A and B are shown apart, each in its own frame.
Chain A
């Protein structure tokens, strides 16, 4: 069993365990997205990132992806003018056969493979972003607000995919405003408030915590 540990930014420190889903929840501007950006090397950070016994602090983004940390970014960041298939190929590490695997998992992408990705609906673009990240064979998948801006039906579909990935043992670090769904999925969760971790525990425990319910679950 591998053990993946992540520590990052702003004096906060947390760990994402291999094979588990870790969630960061908190209000807008709590520092969740900056944390993921720092782990991926997209913004300069003074923090410390250790992954599978390697120190990745200060590494270039492509070195971090090669080390196995792959991000599904907020806003999806698909390449709108390139085709669906080209988007997938850009994520691909290793054999091209894996693209067929992605089409089996996401049949809608197979249907639209030749279409410019900008023509996909928001939900389809999110599927594309997830499929593209999986093709990079992540050993830690970072997900930044995967449900943001999607219709309720698509939100459910995206979380179904994530639950499926969890069953397959994909290690995930999830940043999500939809705290209810995030906590239901997570093995472990941290509550971030104004750049500090104010609470942590199993997803189940936080789900039933009164303070969390009041602030983040709209209870």
Chain B
């Protein structure tokens, strides 16, 4: 039971890192960035490249993957979203162009690494066990939980307590007011994409480390989950996304214990369904009337 709870918090932490970035872009730009799972995958491959090709230690690969995917996020915005934004295109166009980026990037990664599961070179990824009472736990997961929680605290400070965060929130609430106030909107959007994609990429590295496995499509299962988490938490609410992520992690692990394994994905849909019926605006979402 304790081990199940431990795993639930671990997977919830990965979902949370992934989903806060997804929710951040949604709250600022009102678009669903369907390339976010690709950024997740790229984070893992950036770490693999740093470790296997450049011969760097894992603890350097983590910040490298963060910065590399953050920069990729800025590039993604310039290529897939900024041109549409200038033309005032509807959010649906942005979804399609981010999907196109996803397909292209997945192919490029497969050209270099193939489409199968791969592992990190032997002995390059940290792995150790800890014993708590009668339970044996994977130590890396504890480190990942700790790092995720620390990062979410840093993100909270950044968004709530800094000038950049204030500008990002202003842009999310009222783009016209943000422009009138002299906020450099494109710079704030670039920062949003750097943070969002950096955290998404980091989630990818951490999951790849924990399982010692990565592949070009590893981000896809996260897409539906991030969407579920965002709806459950309240569209665009960052604390909502974090709470939703841990709820989903707990629910999935519970469903594995009590239900056949095939129903794991059905659980995410089921949770989404229930929340939409009971509380359409999500746990921490504002009622539509409040948003206007």
Contact = CB atoms under 8 A, between A and B. Distances in A.
B135 interface: no
Given A42-B179, A66-B182, A82-B166, 7 more contacts: A61-B182, A65-B180, A71-B180, A73-B177, A79-B177, A86-B166, A89-B163
B182 to A, nearest CB: 3
A86 B185 CA distance: 17
Contacts of B174: 77, 79-80
Interface residues of A, number: 25
A70 interface: yes
Contacts of B167: 90
Contacts of A89: 163, 166
18 contacts: A42-B176, A42-B179, A42-B180, A60-B184, A60-B186, A61-B182, A62-B179, A73-B177, A73-B180, A77-B176, A78-B177, A79-B173, A79-B174, A90-B167, A90-B183, A91-B181, A93-B182, A132-B181
A65 B183 CA distance: 9
B174 to A, nearest CB: 6
A136 interface: yes
Contacts of A132: 181
Interface in A50-71: 60-62, 64-66, 70-71
Contacts of A126: none
Nearest to B290: A81
A129 to B, nearest CB: 9
Question: Which of A77, A90, A136 gathers most chain B CB within 10 Å?
Answer: A90
Q: Lowest 4 CB-CB distances: which A-B pairs, in order?
A: A65-B182, A77-B177, A61-B179, A62-B184
A86 B159 CA distance: 12
* Size category, B interface: 10 to 19
A91 B163 CA distance: 11
B180 A90 contact: no
A90 B179 CA distance: 11
A44 B72 CA distance: 30
Interface in A114-153: 132, 136
Nearest to A61: B179
Secondary structure call for the B interface: helix
A60 B185 CA distance: 9
Contacts of A93: 182
B169 interface: yes
A171 interface: no
B42 interface: no
Contact of B180 (A61, A80, A81, A82): A61
A121 to B, nearest CB: 19
Interface string B145-186: 000000000000000000100110110011011011111111
B28 to A, nearest CB: 14
B169 A77 contact: no
A77 B181 CA distance: 10
A4 to B, nearest CB: 17
Contacts of A61: 179-180, 182, 185
A90 B181 contact: yes
A66 B186 CA distance: 15
Contact of B182 (A70, A73, A77, A79): A70
A89 B161 CA distance: 12
Contacts of A136: 181-182
A132 B174 CA distance: 15
Nearest to B186: A60
Contacts of B177: 73, 77-79
A65 B185 CA distance: 13
Contacts of A66: 182
A67 B170 CA distance: 21
A80 B180 CA distance: 15
Nearest to B176: A77
A40 interface: yes
A54 B167 CA distance: 27
B173 A81 contact: yes
A91 B180 CA distance: 9
A71 B169 CA distance: 20
A132 B176 CA distance: 15
Contact of B169 (A64, A70, A82): A82
B170 A90 contact: yes
Interface in B99-155: none
A86 B176 CA distance: 17
